[in-house]
Copies of this chain bind each other. A is one copy, B any other.
Amino acid sequence: MVESARAMDHKLAGVDIAAADAAKARIRPLARSTFTAGVLSEIGSFGGMFRPDLAGYEEPVLVASTDGVGTKIRVAIEAGRHDGIGYDLVAHCVNDILVQGATPLFFLDYIALGRMDAARVEAIVSGLARGCREFGCPLIGGETAEMPGTYAEDDYDLAGFIVGVVERSRALPASVREGDLLIGLPSAGLHTNGYTLARKVLFESCGYAADTWLAELGATLGDALLAPHRGYLHVLATLLERRKLRALCHITGGGFPGNLPRVLPEGLAAVLRRGAWEVPPLFRLIQARGAVPDGEMFRTFNMGIGMVLVVSPQDLHDVEHSLERRGEMSFVIGRVARGEGVAWE
Using a CB–CB cutoff of 8 Å, the interface residues on chain A facing chain B are 1-4, 6-10, 12-15, 17, 40-41, 44-52, 54, 59-68, 70-71, 73-74, 96-97, 99-100, 102, 105-106, 108-110, 112, 140-143, 145-151, 155, 157, 159, 161-164, 166, 168, 171, 194, 196-197, 199-201, 205, 250, 253-254, 258, 262, 287-288, 290-296, 299-300
In the complex, which residues of chain B have a beta carbon less than 8 angstroms from the beta carbon of A199?
Answer: 13, 149
In Å, the complex CA distance between A163 and B161 comes to 10
Known: A108-B64, A108-B65, A299-B17. A46 touches B99 (CB 8 A): yes
- Chain B residue nearest to A8 (CB atoms) is B290
Contact A7 B293 (CB under 8 A): yes
CB pair B258–A145 under 8 Å, yes or no, is: no
30 contacts between A and B (CB under 8 A): A4-B291, A7-B292, A8-B201, A10-B197, A10-B300, A40-B168, A45-B262, A46-B100, A47-B97, A48-B64, A49-B63, A50-B62, A50-B63, A52-B60, A52-B62, A54-B54, A64-B108, A64-B163, A66-B109, A66-B110, A66-B142, A67-B110, A71-B149, A71-B150, A110-B110, A110-B159, A145-B253, A148-B196, A150-B155, A159-B159
Complex contact B44–A63 (CB within 8 A)? no
The answer on a CB contact under 8 Å between A71 and B147 is yes
Partner pick for A296 among B9, B74, B151, B162, CB 8 A cutoff = B9
- Report if A262-B48 is in contact (Cβ < 8 Å); known contacts: A3-B293, A196-B13: no
- Bound-complex Cα distance A148 to B47 (A): 32
- B1–A64 contact, CB under 8 A? no
Q: How far is the CB of A241 from chain B (nearest CB, A)?
A: 19
Most chain B CB neighbours (cut-off 10 Å) among A65, A99, A300: A65
Known: A13-B196, A45-B262, A112-B68. A143 touches B163 (CB 8 A): no
Bound complex: CA of A99 vs CA of B49, how far in Å?
A: 12
Whether B197 contacts A9 by the Cβ 8 Å rule is yes
Q: How many copies does the complex hold?
A: 2
Please tell me if the beta carbons of B9 and A47 are within 8 angstroms of each other in the complex.
Answer: no
Question: Can you name the residue of chain B whose Cβ is closest to the Cβ of A161?
Answer: B161
Top 3 closest A-B pairs, CB basis?
A: A13-B200, A161-B161, A8-B290
A140 contact set on B, CB distance < 8 A: 64
Chain A binding surface, main DSSP class: mixed
Task: Given A15-B197, A196-B149, A291-B7, check contact A141 B47 (CB 8 Å).
Answer: no
Report which of B49, B99, B254, B294 forms a contact with A1, defined as CB distance below 8 A. Answer: B294
CB-CB < 8 A to A290: which residues of B? 7-8
Contacts of A197 in B (CB 8 A): 8-10, 13, 15
In the complex the two chains form, is A157's CB within 8 Å of B147's CB?
yes
Chain B residue with the shortest CB-CB distance to A142: B66
In the assembled complex, the CB of A146 is this many whole angstroms from the nearest CB of chain B, namely 8
Q: How far is the CA of A205 from the CA of B9 in the complex (A)?
A: 13
Q: Which of chain B's residues have a CB closer than 8 A to the CB of A100?
A: 41, 45-47, 49
A148 closest partner in B (C-beta):
B196
A46 and B8 in contact, given A51-B62, A108-B161 (Cβ under 8 angstroms): no
Other than A10-B299, A51-B60, A51-B168, give 16 A-B pairs with Cβ distance below 8 A.
A1-B293, A2-B287, A2-B288, A8-B197, A8-B205, A8-B290, A17-B254, A40-B168, A48-B63, A51-B62, A64-B108, A65-B108, A66-B109, A68-B110, A68-B145, A112-B157
